[in-house]
Structure 1
Amino acid sequence: MATSPPQYPPYPPHPPHPAAEGLRHPRWWQRRWVRYGALGTLLAVSGLVILALVREQTGTEGFLVGLGLAVLPVPLLVSAFRWLDRVQPGPWRNVLFAFAWGACAAALIAIVANSFATHWIATATADPSGADTLGATVIAPIVEESAKAAAVLLVFLFRRRDFTGIVDGVVVAGVTATGFAFTENILYLGTAFGTDQLTGDRGIASVTAATFFVRIVMSPFAHPLFTVLTGIGFGVAALSGERQRARRVLVPVCGLLLAMSMHALWNGSSTFGQFGFFAVYGMFMVPLFGLLTWLAVWTRQRELRTVREELPAYVYAGWLGAAEPFVLGSMRARQIAREYAAYHFGKPAGRAVTEYEEYATALALLRRRGQRGRAGADFVVRERELLTELWSRRELARPALEYASRTAGTGYGCPVGPVAPVPGAPTWYGAAPLPSTPYNPYRS
């Protein structure tokens, strides 16, 4: 006897959107392929121009040496930011855009603007030495941090669904700054190599070795550290409600100002005396690096805790299995589930479980924002999309997650198997944990 396909659990009510009537087709300049094409062309042109400028200043041989040395910290930094983003990883296209913007567009803006401003100040004051100092400590931090912040702003505005909190701001800002530092290091290392070629210095006493030690060994995190302050500001803005307009504007601006201030302090450290650089490095850079690292890891753990706290409501509504909130709230259990699916059902199944974990995490974070009155007007629509994505992958994901629950020993005492709905509980996302009054995602 033929069996009917499984039915969805009941959806939450779907209020009509105010703009649902009179929808219009986007104009040609609003189409996605036009925007992507324009952005890709801008980055490509910027890359070619910056390549020509750097090669002109360093020479071909210096450029190649600088490129070979500057690329060394890039995989480590990008991997660190991607590790931080593993709970709800953003799409790779955002990472590639951020790196390309930093390495091409932001670097080009910085070279042109810094050179123009320094030259103008030197001409106006007839003091080239003072102009160089002012350019390094004032002009460069303002120009460079603003150029890098533009990438964070673009992702915040046009990839809003991928930008949901502090971790997303840290990752986008950090990768952008990594790309910027990559191009800047090519310039500095290539120039240092050219200087050594003229003076005949070789080995550890060379300018190239000293530049490599300071920029690649001691402070590869410098530019990411500055710009991450801007990213945190945008992350806080992403967590704010739509009516908290002052907070959504002022907090990113404050983050940008802090980034500029730290950048100026770092650039000006050489003017503080013989040991000024080491004093700033030890008293400010290292503690700030440790503080921001702790904040980023704590935020990641908080996201996992949010998954464990918010998803049980969907268990009672019939969307998720009983053990899933606790498996999805453990990185070890999630990895076991992915490996189980890939081993027994193939790599496509492993990818399906990975997507299931990501959608479930996004659902938990969306619900948390709704609980706090910070959900957007598309709350119900977005929830429905995420639930549909989970439902379409449940056949592959649930056996893997149940196996991970038994194997990982999450220790939450959650049985594997169906859970009966709580008597009298709503049949949608507003199950047991919500207060008695109906939840309204559109409240202020």
Structure 2
Amino acid sequence: MCVLVTLLSCLALSGAAILELVREQTGTAGFFVGLGLALLPVAPLMAAFRWLGRAAPLPWSRLLFCAGWGACTAALIAIVANNFATEWIASAATDPSAADQLGSVAIAPVVEEIAKAAALLLVFTFRRRHFTGPADGLVIAGFTATGFAFTENILYLGNAFGEDLHSGTSVLDSMTAATFFVRIMLSPFAHPLFTALTGLGLGAAARSVRRPVRTGLPLLGLALAMAAHALWNSSSGLGAYGFYIVYGCVMVPAFAALVWLAVRLRRGQLRTVARELRVYAGAGWLGPAEVPALASVPARSLARALARSAGGRPAARAVAAYTADAAALALLRDEARCGGPRRAVDFADRERELLERLWRGRAAAGPALARAAVMEELYAAPPVRATAVGRPPVPVPVPVPVPVPVARRPVPAPMSVPVPVPAPRRSGPCPGATSAGPASPRPYVLPGGGGVR
């Protein structure tokens, strides 16, 4: 709680400071013009990164914290440090005119990427359960960098508008239009692309048990982010066509590769959800129709819509929470079964917590997910009996083990045998692994002996 209060206070103070600092540099009119223009790419970028993380959705509170950190704290650190470094270089160099170019290539990438990476490191350290792999690192980095780019765009666009206002330039030939075209139209993905490299490194480290890998991968990702950022900042000084060469030969291919990787990671998470939840469905914790629905993003959306039409917003929120908990449970089991860094005790405690929430929410969310699976043709509806004319058909019941709650506690106590976790032999995911096996952790056995043996 103390850490949370400290971080929120830091965000509030840095937000007030960066607001006044940017307004002072751009002027009041430039500030509001820059604010309005800088807002345009924020919603599409956040929606894109949220879509990438829909397989195992992270809490909005974490994502908004990261966006706020990028927009307030990281931006404040970057502006103050960059200004100080540029002034120091200008006073020490024999050619003061080169101070800005040297600062943008050598100082700004280092300071800005470290400031943004601090948000990822905070989530990795204090909310480790929300950092399960490269996909989570990519999403968290995207929100952080989007917030940072938002504040930086206000500064650049506001300054450009101030120059145009002072010189009386027309709109089409103005600095504001040129800045808007380069920063908002051509390269809104620049900062997210750089910081995503750090996020991928931290996410890969989250799956490793070897200390050199857990330390080296984040540092490698951060170094690549700094190098890409420095190359992008130096493109304007590489001649008349330097910007277009770097943009077309480096930035666009790198962005396309990042999109391909992000989609691949998303599909891999959905496959993991389907594979791991089958074990819990076999033990009776989930219905057989729920698993294909939980492993399909369209089916999840349809289930929320069905729940909202029947029970309003609370029902839709219950389905959303149920799907998030089920995905977290699947990724937790996959990490433990593959020898992830979280040990058997951590796995058992977290598994019990998630199973308790699933147990309480199944009555509200299960029917909507099952119906969505049937409507999306992911699960065949049970056959119907032949009935008399005029009577509705009666579905033939499918024998599914139904959990029976134990008196005075919704979830049974853990098994007396410790949950087996394999020895840490590898650091990555297990794409070819199957369901429960001799070396995989078993879910809790339901009352009545319905668990997987």
Q: Fold-level match, TM-score > 0.5?
A: yes
Query: How do 1:15-26 residues align onto structure 2 when only pairs under 5 Å count?
Result: none
Match in the other structure for 2:187: 219
Q: Extract structure 1 runs of 4+ deviating beyond 3 A.
A: 411-421, 427-430, 436-441
Say whether residues 1:149 and 2:117 are aligned partners.
Answer: yes
**Following TM superposition, by how much is the alpha carbon of 1:440 offset from its aligned partner in structure 2, in angstroms?**
9.0
d(CA) in 1 for partners of 2:441 and 2:154? 54
Say whether residues 1:40 and 2:42 are aligned partners.
Answer: no
Amino acid at match of 1:110: A
Match in the other structure for 2:448: none
Say whether residues 1:92 and 2:60 are aligned partners.
Answer: yes
Instruction: Report the CA distance shift for 1:437/1:39 in structure 2 as closer, same or farther (over 3 A).
Output: closer
Given that residues 234 and 251 in structure 1 are in contact (C-alpha distance below 8 angstroms), is that contact kept between their aligned partners in structure 2?
A: yes
Q: 1:434 aligns with which of 430, 433, 436?
A: 436
d(CA) in 2 for partners of 1:247 and 1:158? 20
Say whether residues 1:254 and 2:256 are aligned partners.
Answer: no
Match in the other structure for 1:366: 332
Root-mean-square deviation (Å): 2.2
**Following TM superposition, by how much is the alpha carbon of 1:180 offset from its aligned partner in structure 2, in angstroms?**
0.9
Structure 2 unpaired stretches of 5+: 384-396, 403-414, 421-433, 444-453
Match in the other structure for 1:21: none
Query: How do 1:113-124 residues align onto structure 2 when only pairs under 5 Å count?
Result: 113-124=81-92
Given that residues 322 and 414 in structure 1 are in contact (C-alpha distance below 8 angstroms), is that contact kept between their aligned partners in structure 2?
A: no
Q: 1:135 aligns with which of 103, 110, 121?
A: 103
d(CA) in 2 for partners of 1:297 and 1:310? 20
Instruction: Report the CA distance shift for 1:308/1:143 in structure 2 as closer, same or farther (over 3 A).
Output: same
Aligned residues: 401
Task: Report the 3-state secondary structure (helix = DSSP H, G, I; strand = E; otherwise coil) of the residue aligned with 2:8.
Answer: helix
Match in the other structure for 1:159: 127
1:175-206 Cα shifts (integer Å, max 9, x gaps): 11111111111111111111112211012111
Say whether residues 1:101 and 2:103 are aligned partners.
Answer: no
d(CA) in 1 for partners of 2:337 and 2:293? 22
Query: How do 1:332-347 residues align onto structure 2 when only pairs under 5 Å count?
Result: 332-347=298-313
Instruction: Report the CA distance shift for 1:227/1:204 in structure 2 as closer, same or farther (over 3 A).
Output: same
Say whether residues 1:199 and 2:167 are aligned partners.
Answer: yes
Match in the other structure for 1:282: 248
Given that residues 226 and 262 in structure 1 are in contact (C-alpha distance below 8 angstroms), is that contact kept between their aligned partners in structure 2?
A: yes
Amino acid at match of 1:212: F
**Following TM superposition, by how much is the alpha carbon of 1:288 offset from its aligned partner in structure 2, in angstroms?**
0.6
Instruction: Report the CA distance shift for 1:375/1:313 in structure 2 as closer, same or farther (over 3 A).
Output: farther
Given that residues 338 and 354 in structure 1 are in contact (C-alpha distance below 8 angstroms), is that contact kept between their aligned partners in structure 2?
A: yes
Query: How do 1:345-364 residues align onto structure 2 when only pairs under 5 Å count?
Result: 345-364=311-330
Match in the other structure for 1:292: 258
d(CA) in 2 for partners of 1:71 and 1:436? 53
d(CA) in 2 for partners of 1:348 and 1:50? 37
Task: Report the 3-state secondary structure (helix = DSSP H, G, I; strand = E; otherwise coil) of the residue aligned with 2:256.
Answer: helix
Instruction: Report the CA distance shift for 1:373/1:207 in structure 2 as closer, same or farther (over 3 A).
Output: same
Instruction: Report the CA distance shift for 1:291/1:440 in structure 2 as closer, same or farther (over 3 A).
Output: same
d(CA) in 1 for partners of 2:435 and 2:144? 39
Match in the other structure for 1:397: 365
Given that residues 322 and 417 in structure 1 are in contact (C-alpha distance below 8 angstroms), is that contact kept between their aligned partners in structure 2?
A: no
Percent identity over the alignment is: 56
Amino acid at match of 2:374: R
Which shows bigger deviation, 364-373 or 122-131? Answer: 122-131
Task: Report the 3-state secondary structure (helix = DSSP H, G, I; strand = E; otherwise coil) of the residue aligned with 1:66.
Answer: helix
d(CA) in 2 for partners of 1:417 and 1:357? 23
Given that residues 289 and 370 in structure 2 are in contact (C-alpha distance below 8 angstroms), is that contact kept between their aligned partners in structure 1?
A: yes
Say whether residues 1:237 and 2:205 are aligned partners.
Answer: yes
**Following TM superposition, by how much is the alpha carbon of 1:318 offset from its aligned partner in structure 2, in angstroms?**
1.5
Structure 1 unpaired stretches of 5+: 1-31, 422-426
d(CA) in 1 for partners of 2:37 and 2:329? 42
Which TM-score applies when normalising by structure 2? 0.84
Given that residues 323 and 414 in structure 1 are in contact (C-alpha distance below 8 angstroms), is that contact kept between their aligned partners in structure 2?
A: no
Amino acid at match of 2:338: R
d(CA) in 2 for partners of 1:207 and 1:325? 54
Instruction: Report the CA distance shift for 1:304/1:437 in structure 2 as closer, same or farther (over 3 A).
Output: closer
Q: 1:74 aligns with which of 25, 30, 42?
A: 42
d(CA) in 2 for partners of 1:322 and 1:267? 53
d(CA) in 2 for partners of 1:57 and 1:401? 53
Given that residues 70 and 148 in structure 2 are in contact (C-alpha distance below 8 angstroms), is that contact kept between their aligned partners in structure 1?
A: yes
Task: Report the 3-state secondary structure (helix = DSSP H, G, I; strand = E; otherwise coil) of the residue aligned with 1:205.
Answer: coil
Task: Report the 3-state secondary structure (helix = DSSP H, G, I; strand = E; otherwise coil) of the residue aligned with 1:203.
Answer: coil
Match in the other structure for 1:381: 349
Given that residues 322 and 418 in structure 1 are in contact (C-alpha distance below 8 angstroms), is that contact kept between their aligned partners in structure 2?
A: no
Which shows bigger deviation, 392-401 or 227-236? Answer: 392-401
